Amino acid sequence: MIALSLADISKVVDGALHLAGASSATDLVDGSVQTDSRLVEPGSIFIAKPGAVTDGHLFAPAAAASGAALLIVERLLDLPVTQIVVADAVAALGALASAVVARVRSAGKLKIVAVTGSNGKTTTKNLLRSMFERVGVTVAPQGSFNNQVGAPMTMLEVTDDTRFLVIEMGASSEGAIANLVRLVRPDVGIVLTIGLAHAGEFGDLDATVRAKSAMVTDLLPTDVAVLNADDPRVAQMAAITPARIVRFGEYGQVDVRASDLHSGRTGTTFTLHLADGQSAPVVFPVLGEHHVMNALAAAAAAEVLGVSLGDIVAALQATTRAERWRMEVLGGKDNVTIINDAYNASPDSMSAALKTLAQIATPGCRTIAVLGEMAELGELAGEEHDRIGLLAVRLNISQMIVVGQRARRMHISTINEGSWDGESVYVDTPDEAFELVRSSVNPGDTVLVKSSNSAGLRFLGDRLGDLFS
């Protein structure tokens, strides 16, 4: 974190400063900010946030023992460390992050891009980081740090040398994105897609649209909203933002687009067209044609902030995977390909993954889909799992292995379709699925492992990747 005095931090987080030992309110703190006591180093700030399972205050002694210079707590603790007592530790984290970004930004060179959407956020964030790093110092989240804790933790990594900050914004509830937008104040806001991911939390698509729209409604006229013109729910956000609009997509009147798409087992080739009229061929190694839309979104934002076409193309061509456990290509032994895409799953991403599996199959060899639950769909879960089962039949997937009770309707729907005879198998556990694939896979087969994170199939994908590596 940039250096701030204890007095400044106390004021920013609206807390009561309790000095310990020889500490003074003018003392500067510039260590890392942590919510995990195991990551605390000498000089760190430890924020004792309450959690769903435990309470960060229980780990404050460990943070103090590791050399924390400051504890931000919701109650004063009997520890020989300077503390700031606040009403809400998570709100204090956000306020501190917002103040740090504002101070760095006041120097005039920091530009901020925020990205949201039902699918593709992490891939787009990674592409943006790769593009911006070719121009200047860039801060972007590791993994999917996109909530009320993860996003501020990323924000706190900026320094006076940072030129670009990329923030991924997830929406666990209505108002979550709006709060993050107020904290970071992006120069460019990207909205990728509106789909059924998290439908169980929002209730319906209209609520999802309202939540995601917060990305663009609070932008300034000098800011830019980058919108997916191919998604009608995203495209309509152009009417509710004061920002300048940059549209991306494959169809219609758009500013940034792709043409001449050709997908295969090694990725997708296409021609990238930027808003300024420049174009260039791209060999994009990320598997799955659906990831081209993420590439277009990143390219649109990068162009807005001055990244050259050459650097944009170089970044795309250097990206070999979307992210760990996202369309990650493993295996290779006996020409068996394992696609591990089991970090997240929504109806849209499940459909895209199955279509990619069918599209890249080796002629004369089988396609095997090992599928688990799509979580957080609420009352839509049953019909959406049915729909995926039917899609697998219609795509002529050679073998489907459904794992876990919560995904079982995919198996039932394939049987009810009546066009298959034994091509779908149900098992209770990932171990059973592993043995089934191990004993039945043939040289040249392509295996997709796809589920929500909660189903745990990503580790099954890793095991299969190791088996055929």
Contacting residues for 55 by C-beta, under 8 A, at least 6 apart: 48
Identify whether the C-beta of residue 263 lies closer than 8 Å to the C-beta of residue 356: yes
Contacting residues for 133 by C-beta, under 8 A, at least 6 apart: 315
Burial 320-339, CB ≥16 within 10 A → b, else e: ebbbebbbbbbbeeeebbbb
Rg (CA), the chain: 24
Task: Using alpha carbons, list the distances in angstroms from residue 355 to 189, 288, 335, 456.
Answer: 29, 9, 20, 22
Annotated binding site for ATP: 117-123
Identify whether the C-beta of residue 440 lies closer than 8 Å to the C-beta of residue 399: yes
Identify whether the C-beta of residue 432 lies closer than 8 Å to the C-beta of residue 449: no
Q: Please state the φ and ψ torsions of residue 201, each to the nearest 5 degrees.
A: -85, -40
Report the alpha-carbon distance of residue 163 to residue 333 in Å, rounded.
43
Report the alpha-carbon distance of residue 9 to residue 44 in Å, rounded.
13
Collapse the DSSP code of 433 into the 3-class scheme (helix H, G, I; strand E, B; otherwise coil) and give the result.
Answer: helix
Report the alpha-carbon distance of residue 260 to residue 172 in Å, rounded.
37
Closest CA to 316 of 367, 247, 270, 351: 270
Placement of tokens 């300077």 in the chain: 82
Identify whether the C-beta of residue 389 lies closer than 8 Å to the C-beta of residue 424: yes
Annotated binding site: 117-123
